[in-house]
Amino acid sequence: MTGRAIFRIVVKAAALFAALNLLFVLLNPLEALGRLSLYNAVLPGRWRLPYGENSAESYNLSLHNIPAMFASHVVAQPKPDDEYRLLLIGDSGTWGWLMENDQTLAAQINAAGDTVDGRRLVAYNLAYPIMALSKDLLLLDEAMSYQPDLILWLVTLESFPRQQQVFPPLVQNNAERMRRLAERYDLNLDPNDPRFVTPSLLERTIVGQRRALADWLRLQVYGFSWAFTGIDQAIPDDYTLRASDFEEDLSWDSFDEPAPFTADDLAFDVLAAGMARAGGVPVIVVNEPIFISRGRNSDLRYNAFYPRWAYDAYRELLDAQARANGWHYLDLWDAIPPDEFTDTPVHLTPEGVLMLSEHLVSAIEQN
Amino acid sequence: MDEKEVREKLRSYITRELIRDESYRLTDDEGIVTGGLMDSFSLAEFAVYVESEFGVYIPDSDLTVARMNTLDQMVARVMQDMK
Amino acid sequence: MNLAAILVFAAAACLYGALLPARFRGWALFAGSVIAVYVLQPALPIRYSAYALPTAMLLLIVASWWLTRDSNAHAGATTSQPLNDDVVGAQHAAPLQSPNDERYSPSPRLREGSGVRGIPRDDLVTLMALVALMVGVSFLRFIDVDFRLVASTPPEPLAVVLALLVIGAAGVGLRLALRRVSQRRALTGMILLIAAAFVVFKAEPLATALSRALRFQTGQDTTLASIADLGWVGFSYVAFRLIHTLRDRQTGILPALSLREYVTYVIFFPSFTAGPIDRAERFVEDYRALPGLRGLDAERFAGGAARILIGLFKKFVIADTLALGLALNVINAGQVESPLGMWLLLYGYALRLYFDFGGYTDIAIGIGILYGVTLPENFSRPYLRTTITSFWQSWHITLSSWARFYVFSPLSRALLTRKPKPSALVIVLLAQVTTMVVIGLWHGVALNFLLWGLWHGVGLFVHKQWSDRTRKWYRGLNDQPARKRLWVGFSWFVTFHYVVLGWVWFALPDVSQSLRVFGVLFGGG
């Protein structure tokens, strides 16, 4: 081989590489690729959306490709005629932090074996471990193409602060989807918030998107370990119990002390957008149970998350919003005894989840 | 001892002791190991025989399939060190 | 080697080919390899050990070179002499040695002018350069941590100089004290010393004890002592290369090597961390030809680059993807309950291991090609082999060849010439099992590697018994192609699964866990 021949090969290879990258920028095929999945075909679908940091132990990972996340989930299977499909939207408590898949809220609702209108009630866990209504809306938006009959949307005050709405990496890295929703539902959300990730031309090439591509591949590969072991979370043997004693601290979010609190301070517009997005599909908004402490300074605070004043004001506001907009609303804030909470004020023990599921199943029956 | 004598001694030793089939007609250039007639482990036995018979020490690093696969190669290696 | 190191090595190859005067190429590989020994050494918790271990390795190499020197060489002889007529060591002479050995002539070496006390000036210059590099590396402690090149802070240069002086003086003292010991005995002593160091560093309890002692010396927490403290990168390969030269010197087949040739051979940076285990006489052929190399040879660069790319793909795409969750490991071995899942993980492990190691080898060979050194192949489609014997001629070839040259052949010969001669069955069993156990323990002095070695030793033994008895019948199959194909397919299936099941021992340090895996694989739970 001569130097000239090698030079030609190098030039051709470089040109081909550049062309492929350009094509990738133009087609932006990541989401289409995401719909391609080994799950529900050669691998069983996941019971909850992929999320996890310690991949080597959890056989799970956090990625930003929403179609890929849904394609890996059992919800992507065809819906049988005799199924009444219930989708659960919420935070880590509903996703099942520190819980096996058969202990989560969705699993315990399914274990009840209820029927609705003669159809089997089948719940799908579409919760995702971070607290923000925007993230809920993003997932609910995608979930609507999976033929829900009913949606349970579990919320808590921590999901409501305005600043929180562009905090989740899932939201930041799905800027286009979030901006579209913001525009469509006229959300009070700055589309130019610098936290949104807007890739440059170079970052949209194959090279720039190598991480996203690798994540898609890793999601498929971890599926084998998930299939063989049923593990999708590295549950520690031990955890620190949620605090019961508190400092004399009344601050919440950006409020250093109790202050008059209006609906404008919280992202009710995002909640309303979700209700609108669901359209004809009924949604039950659930104010999820919180840990109510009886420790030091518990006259000031319910728990580590919430001072009493802020949480009480939130409940009043949510109740008023639900009435004004005609939403189905279920306030279960004090429905679970304090002993059934684990590491945070919203994470329940399996027994706690069972109690919650009983409340919810009876609410569904009444609906 | 001339090359011819060495060749015939080796041929008869290999067919008798290593291939263990005296009726086998071993040619000069067929692959003895690669042809499945004997295995590479027999090369150690071969080396011991060569040393006792011809007084030629073949170093261990020469006892490889690549270097000792045919009768021709073996004869050449022995002749190299024959006085 | 990580991606960054591979890129640096490849980029440096371009400068080496394009700009470096041809006569300095050997020097460049020498200096580059010495520096790489320090750079490739990962950080270790015990203070200064990430500097001390590479330095100790280099000193060990110099000592080995000293012992393998041909003391007659400066008197005009150009070939090394076998060591069977030494005054003191006569009774230790190899019983199989014949006086004809010297005719197995290594490549002659020109000696240009003597330096001090019979040490050629060239070797003295190399020695000084080596010391300068060792001390030079310690100056990296004054460089900001982001640009330091080495993973841990080196000790004070002054301390290094003092330590080297003390070690040098001790070396000279030792040489004087042992001057009546024959070279043959000294070589044996060195081989035993290296083997002992290998065992100490690779056996968990011994390494932990050593780590505890070192931590006590440095005033660090002795309760944290573990084998991980003594991650001496490259030592396994270096040890086997050294033993090869020491043993070959004893049998008189080692070519005369300059210090620079010797050091560069032992620590040549592409093959420093993960092989292959080249042979000195083959390496120096390339090394001595370096000045005649075309600087920017397009073909060489294309060949090397292609090999590196293939290796990168095998290692970083195939192997690393399999490692994500498709390969057996300590964690999932305890979690998987279904036989199907366990089999898939085991196949995945077999492929991961091959692509990981094979990929590394491709990268090493590719980088070697860029610099003008053609390292030996290490793999030759091992999983397509139809007998366990041919598997071992195609898997980690340079290690199994080493074991054949330095364990199997000498042991077989010794047993074959023993009076009374043991039965053929005993000889083959002993030789094969010992060889494979050595290969097993080379990976780590632990029970699981011992069992893996036994597994293969027994496999090879059984296969030899079988093929000895069926050879004629098997040759008869040549006339029946259909039956032969069927038989070859069956042989492949058995061989592949024997190897794959053997990996269970290899993959899992805990033997009870391996037994559990076998239970799941065969449906016992």
Per-residue pLDDT at C279 exceeds 50: yes
Residues 423-452 of C with CB under 8 A from B: 428, 431-432
Taking only the tens place, the pLDDT of each residue in B4-38 is 999 999 999 998 888 888 888 889 988 888 877 77
Helix (H, G, I), strand (E, B) or coil at C248: helix
Which of A162-171, C68-77, C110-119 holds the top average pLDDT? A162-171
pLDDT-derived band at C106 (thresholds 50, 70, 90) equals very low
Please compute the mean of the pLDDT values over residues C88-99 and round it to a whole number: 37
Per-residue pLDDT at C96 exceeds 70: no
Taking only the tens place, the pLDDT of each residue in C342-397 is 999 999 999 999 999 999 999 999 999 999 999 999 999 999 999 998 899 899 99
**Given CB atoms, is C101 within the 8 Å cutoff of chain B?**
yes
Q: How far is C317 from chain B (nearest CA, A)?
A: 34
Can you give the pLDDT at residue C525?
52
- The DSSP annotation for A87-150 comes to EEE-SHHHHTTT--GGGSHHHHHHHTT-EETTEEEEEEE---SS--HHHHHHHHHHHGGG--SE
Q: Which residue of C has its CA nearest to A227?
A: C341
Per-residue pLDDT at C115 exceeds 60: no
Q: Which of A73, A15, A68, A64 is nearest to A44 (CA)?
A: A73
What tokens were used for C96? 């199989």
**Given CB atoms, is C470 within the 8 Å cutoff of chain B?**
no
Chain B residues in contact with C96 (beta carbon < 8 A): 51, 57
Please compute the mean of the pLDDT values over residues C124-131 and round it to a whole number: 94
Can you give the pLDDT at residue A187?
94
Q: Which of C204, C275, C270 is nearest to C236 (CA)?
A: C275
Can you give the pLDDT at residue C419?
84
Domain B3-81 indexed as CATH 1.10.1200.10? yes
Q: Do C416 and B48 touch (CB under 8 A)?
A: yes
Within 13 Å of residue B7, how many CA atoms lie on the same side as its CB? 12
Please compute the mean of the pLDDT values over residues C289-304 and round it to a whole number: 87
Q: Cα–Cα distance between A178 and A158 in angstroms, integer? A: 20
Taking only the tens place, the pLDDT of each residue in C181-199 is 888 899 999 999 999 999 9
Can you give the pLDDT at residue A2?
63
Can you give the pLDDT at residue C73?
46
C406 CB neighbour count, 10 Å cutoff:
21
Q: Do C326 and A228 touch (CB under 8 A)?
A: no
C partners (3+ CB pairs within 8 A) are A, B
Residues 184-223 of A with CB under 8 A from C: 217-218, 221-223
**Given CB atoms, is C413 within the 8 Å cutoff of chain B?**
yes
Element (DSSP H or E) covering residue A85: strand A83-89
The phi, psi pair for A46, rounded to 5°, reads -80, 155
pLDDT-derived band at C2 (thresholds 50, 70, 90) equals confident
C-beta separation of A250 from A73 below 8 A:
no
C-beta separation of C45 from C53 below 8 A:
no
Q: Is the peptide bond before C276 cis (omega within 30 degrees of 0)?
A: yes
Please compute the mean of the pLDDT values over residues A298-321 and round it to a whole number: 94
**Which of A7-21, C63-77, C203-217, C225-239 shows the lowest mean pLDDT across its residues?**
C63-77
Residue C410 β-bridge partners: none
Chain B residues in contact with C471 (beta carbon < 8 A): 19-21, 36-38
Can you give the pLDDT at residue C92?
37
Q: Token pair 């270097």 is at which residue? A: B67
Q: How far is A352 from chain C (nearest CA, A)?
A: 27
Can you point out the beta strands (E) in A21-65?
A: none
Looking at residue A328, the DSSP 8-state letter turns out to be: E
A partners (3+ CB pairs within 8 A) are C
Q: Do B44 and C432 touch (CB under 8 A)?
A: no
Sheet holding A283-287, edge to edge: A115-116, A119-125, A83-89, A150-155, A283-287, A328-331
B–C: how many Cβ contacts below 8 A?
80
Can you give the pLDDT at residue C107?
38
What tokens were used for B80? 């190299």
Chain C residues at the A interface, defined by Cβ less than 8 Å, are 296, 298-299, 301-302, 321-322, 324-326, 331-332, 335-338, 341-342, 344-345, 348
Q: Cα–Cα distance between C53 and C38 in angstroms, integer? A: 9
C258 CB neighbour count, 10 Å cutoff:
22
C-beta separation of C416 from C427 below 8 A:
yes
Nearest neighbour of B48 by CB, restricted to C279, C417, C428 = C417
Q: Token pair 């918790």 is at which residue? A: C45
The answer for residues whose C-beta is within 8 angstroms of residue C484's C-beta and 6 or more apart is C477, C478
Per-residue pLDDT at C93 exceeds 50: no
Can you give the pLDDT at residue A6?
72
Please compute the mean of the pLDDT values over residues C403-425 and round it to a whole number: 89
Cα dihedral value C326, C328, C329, C334, nearest 10: 110
pLDDT-derived band at C81 (thresholds 50, 70, 90) equals low
Cα dihedral value A182, A188, A190, A196, nearest 10: -60
Chain length of chain C: 525
Nearest neighbour of C325 by CB, restricted to A2, A6, A221 = A221
Percent with pLDDT over 90 in chain C? 58
Chain C residues in contact with A57 (beta carbon < 8 A): 331
Nearest neighbour of C416 by CB, restricted to B20, B45, B80 = B45
Q: Cα–Cα distance between C110 and A367 in angstroms, integer? A: 98
Can you give the pLDDT at residue C31?
95
Per-residue pLDDT at C112 exceeds 50: no
Taking only the tens place, the pLDDT of each residue in A65-90 is 999 999 999 999 999 999 999 999 99
Nearest neighbour of B51 by CB, restricted to C96, C406, C431 = C96
A–C: how many Cβ contacts below 8 A?
52
**Given CB atoms, is C103 within the 8 Å cutoff of chain B?**
yes
Element (DSSP H or E) covering residue A287: strand A283-287
Chain C residues in contact with B63 (beta carbon < 8 A): 404-405, 409
Instruction: Answer left, alpha or beta for residue A96, where phi above 0 means left and psi between -120 and 50 means alpha.
Output: left
Q: Do C467 and B39 touch (CB under 8 A)?
A: yes
Within 13 Å of residue C220, how many CA atoms lie on the same side as its CB? 16
Chain C residues in contact with B78 (beta carbon < 8 A): none
Q: Do C335 and A228 touch (CB under 8 A)?
A: yes
Q: Do C405 and B61 touch (CB under 8 A)?
A: yes
Can you give the pLDDT at residue C130?
95
C-beta separation of C411 from C435 below 8 A:
yes
What tokens were used for C476? 């008869």
- Chain C touches chain B, with at least 3 Cβ pairs below 8 Å, answer yes
Q: Cα–Cα distance between A178 and C360 in angstroms, integer? A: 44
Nearest neighbour of B59 by CB, restricted to C104, C432, C474 = C104
Please compute the mean of the pLDDT values over residues A265-275 and round it to a whole number: 95
Per-residue pLDDT at C94 exceeds 80: no
Chain B residues in contact with C421 (beta carbon < 8 A): none
Chain A residues in contact with C321 (beta carbon < 8 A): 217, 221
Residue-range definition of the domain harbouring residue A120: 3-366
Mean predicted lDDT score pLDDT of chain C? 87
Looking at residue B64, the DSSP 8-state letter turns out to be: S
Q: What is the ipTM of this complex?
A: 0.86
Q: Cα–Cα distance between C523 and C337 in angstroms, integer? A: 9
* CATH code, domain with A224: 3.40.50.1110
Can you give the pLDDT at residue A10?
81
Per-residue pLDDT at B46 exceeds 50: yes
Q: Cα–Cα distance between C310 and C359 in angstroms, integer? A: 7
Q: Which residue of B has its CA nearest to C427?
A: B45
Q: How far is C339 from chain A (nearest CA, A)?
A: 9
Nearest neighbour of C409 by CB, restricted to B36, B39, B44 = B44
**Given CB atoms, is A6 within the 8 Å cutoff of chain C?**
yes
Q: Cα–Cα distance between C432 and C388 in angstroms, integer? A: 12
- Looking at the 3D structure of chain A, how many domains does it have? 1
The answer for residues whose C-beta is within 8 angstroms of residue A232's C-beta and 6 or more apart is A46, A47, A48, A50, A52, A58, A59, A60, A101, A226
Per-residue pLDDT at C95 exceeds 70: no
Q: Which residue of A has its CA nearest to C334?
A: A229
Can you give the pLDDT at residue C355?
97
Chain B residues in contact with C401 (beta carbon < 8 A): 64
Q: Which of C258, C289, C336 is nearest to C504 (CA)?
A: C336
Can you give the pLDDT at residue A254?
86
pLDDT-derived band at C251 (thresholds 50, 70, 90) equals confident
Burial class from Cβ neighbours inside 10 Å (0-12, 13-18, 19+) for residue C489 reads exposed
pLDDT-derived band at C158 (thresholds 50, 70, 90) equals very high
B partners (3+ CB pairs within 8 A) are C
C-beta separation of C100 from C82 below 8 A:
no
Q: Do A229 and C302 touch (CB under 8 A)?
A: no
Q: Do A225 and C325 touch (CB under 8 A)?
A: yes
